[in-house]
């Protein structure tokens, strides 16, 4: 196994770096290429670490149209995290720092949303989602995203 030692690794998670960033750096140094691809992008000036599984990389390579990986953070009577895969580029009315291209046809977009009324059940007459005006969106931006492709479906999760 060949290791690229040109990157500097934090000596200890207590040196001001968060454990997820330290862990991600270690994984990038030690993980074989067959384990997928790691990317780092910036939304709202904050780093977002993205990991694509080998299956997701292969599926992304076959895309002919844009795919948006939407990181939805839903505020209402509860808080819900969701990763949605939309077959379109990010909306042109999105804030410029809320999205970026990560692969040829793949974009990532962070979208905090809310509704005007709290509804616990999914129903056809549920109130529509609307983008939530957030003063400091970087405070809510996740640190990492995992993207996979399994049985013809995109799968994702994110965390802090």
Measure the CA–CA gap between 112 and 72, rounded to whole angstroms.
6
pLDDT of 61-73, one tens digit each?
999 999 999 999 9
Question: What number is the average pLDDT over the span 156-160?
Answer: 95
pLDDT of 115-149, one tens digit each?
777 766 666 666 677 777 788 888 999 999 999 99
Indicate the domain borders of the chain: 36-116+128-159
Measure the CA–CA gap between 145 and 50, rounded to whole angstroms.
5
SS3 per residue for 15-58: CCCCHHHHHHHHHHHHCCHHHCEEEEEEECCEEEEEEECHHHHH
What's the confidence (pLDDT) of residue 57?
95
Q: For the chain, what is the mean pLDDT?
A: 80
pLDDT of 91-109, one tens digit each?
766 677 888 999 989 999 9
Question: Do residues 87 and 103 make contact, with C-beta atoms less than 8 angstroms apart?
Answer: no
What's the confidence (pLDDT) of residue 12?
42
What's the confidence (pLDDT) of residue 26?
63
| Residue 25, number of CB atoms within 10 A of its CB | 18
């Amino acid at each position: 196994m060949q290791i690229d030692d040109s990157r500097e690794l934090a000596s200890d998670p207590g040196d001001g770096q968060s454990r997820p960033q330290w862990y991600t750096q270690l994984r990038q140094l030690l993980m074989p290429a067959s384990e997928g691809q790691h990317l780092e992008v910036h939304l709202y000036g904050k780093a977002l670490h993205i990991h694509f599984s080998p299956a997701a990389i292969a599926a992304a390579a076959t895309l002919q149209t844009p795919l948006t990986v939407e990181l939805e953070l839903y505020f209402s009577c509860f808080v819900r995290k969701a990763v949605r895969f939309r077959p379109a580029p990010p909306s042109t009315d999105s804030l410029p720092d809320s999205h970026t291209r990560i692969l040829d046809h793949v974009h990532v977009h962070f979208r905090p949303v809310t509704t005007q009324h709290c509804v616990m059940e999914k129903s056809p007459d549920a109130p529509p989602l609307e983008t939530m005006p957030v003063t400091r969106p970087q405070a809510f931006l996740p640190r990492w995203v995992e993207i996979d492709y399994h049985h013809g479906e995109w799968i994702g999760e994110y965390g802090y």
